[in-house]
Amino acid sequence: MKIFYHTSATATGGRNGHTRVDDGSIGFDLVGFQNTDGKTGTNPEQLFAMGYAACFDSAMNHVAPSLGIKPTKSSTTVAVGIGQKAEGAFALDLDITVSVEGVSRDDAKKLIQKAHEVCPYSNATRGNVEVRLHVKVIDEFDL
């Protein structure tokens, strides 16, 4: 595989520590998702949701021309759940909701299906994580 981009991040202290991109461009204080002490911060699931949403929306923009589909606007929301499997391992659960403007429902479905095939996050999670795709078509009457 030809690598187009590479980055790295370091976390210290786990879910109640700090994480930062190794070039120093961004960092976050972390809190567990069960945070009860009022400490502010973010958690790994939120960071994953943000990255996946941005990547998936970019994948749609990338594949739209090859499908002859021209949305006027799109947004992607990724909801991430975390839970424990019966055997004790932890796992993620994902809902991807895409809002697309300027295309038919059928074209929107084709677009998100194709984006799901090429998005690196989708490819990384495929077969490992429950992922549900949802589409919302916005037309001029919804504005």
Confidence of residue 16 (pLDDT cuts 50, 70, 90): confident
Are the C-beta atoms of 115 and 75 separated by less than 8 Å? Answer: no
How high is the pLDDT of residue 143?
45
- Distance between CA 138 and CA 1 in Å, rounded? 37
Nearest C-alpha neighbor of 45 from the set 90, 96, 80, 9:
80
Distances (CA, A) of 86 to 90, 91, 93: 9, 11, 15
- Distance between CA 27 and CA 80 in Å, rounded? 20
23 vs 16 pLDDT, higher one: 23
Please write the tens of the pLDDT for every residue from 23-45: 999 999 998 877 667 777 899 99
| Average pLDDT of the residues in 113-139 | 94
Mean pLDDT of all residues in the chain?
Answer: 92
Confidence of residue 6 (pLDDT cuts 50, 70, 90): very high
How high is the pLDDT of residue 140?
55
Domains of the chain, CATH where assigned: 1-42 (2.20.25.10), 44-142 (3.30.300.20)
DSSP strand pairing (18-21 vs 27-29): antiparallel
- Distance between CA 98 and CA 42 in Å, rounded? 23
Please write the tens of the pLDDT for every residue from 69-101: 999 999 999 999 999 999 999 999 999 999 999
